[in-house]
């Protein structure tokens, strides 16, 4: 009887954990587009490195949009490095939460384009 209870508790905790991580991974809170001058893109971290950037949306950096980029977004990362200092448009997804191995922010850039 005690084994069954422990088994049910372990299974319940496992399902809750899997459900939580699946929700965080697959369900975005919002999606959007922001434009401005790309002022920073960096690969930072001591053990786990993440890509972090900043977009200036105001006069002299008064309004800064901080964002992260997933490691598998190779084209986005290369374009951000190439267009640093230029005016760009970023498409992003906002997540409910983030994991430390994803990045510092809840905003993840999925596409970047150079403004004309």
pLDDT at 28: 85
The answer to the question of residue 47 being in a domain is yes
pLDDT at 61: 60
The answer to the question of residue 19 being in a domain is no
Written as six digits, the tokens of 101 are: 């191995």
pLDDT band at 103 (very low <50, low <70, confident <90, very high): confident
- Report pLDDT digits (tens) over 54-98: 999 877 667 899 999 998 899 999 999 999 989 999 999 999 888
pLDDT at 67: 95
The answer to the question of residue 7 being in a domain is no
Q: Where are the alpha helices (DSSP H) in the chain?
A: 2-26, 74-82
The answer to the question of residue 9 being in a domain is no
* Domain containing residue 106: CATH number: 2.40.50.140
The answer to the question of residue 52 being in a domain is yes
- Report pLDDT digits (tens) over 32-42: 999 999 999 99
pLDDT at 8: 92
Q: How many domains does the chain divide into?
A: 1
pLDDT at 60: 64
Output the pTM of the full model: 0.79
The answer to the question of residue 17 being in a domain is no
CA dihedral 91, 97, 103, 105 (to 10 degrees): 60
Percent of the chain with pLDDT over 90: 66
Question: Which range marks the domain in which residue 81 is found?
Answer: 28-114
pLDDT at 6: 93
Terminal Cα distance for the chain, rounded: 70
């Amino acid at each position: 009887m005690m084994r069954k209870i422990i088994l049910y508790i372990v299974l319940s905790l496992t399902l809750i954990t899997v459900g939580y991580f699946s929700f965080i991974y697959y369900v975005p809170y919002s999606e959007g587009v922001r434009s401005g001058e790309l002022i920073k893109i960096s690969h930072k971290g001591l053990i786990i490195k993440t890509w972090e950037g900043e977009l200036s949306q105001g006069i002299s950096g008064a309004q800064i949009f901080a964002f992260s980029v997933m490691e598998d977004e190779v084209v986005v990362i290369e374009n951000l490095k190439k267009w640093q200092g230029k005016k760009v448009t970023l498409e992003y997804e906002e997540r409910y939460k983030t994991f430390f191995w994803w990045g510092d922010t809840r905003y993840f850039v999925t596409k970047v384009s150079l403004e004309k």
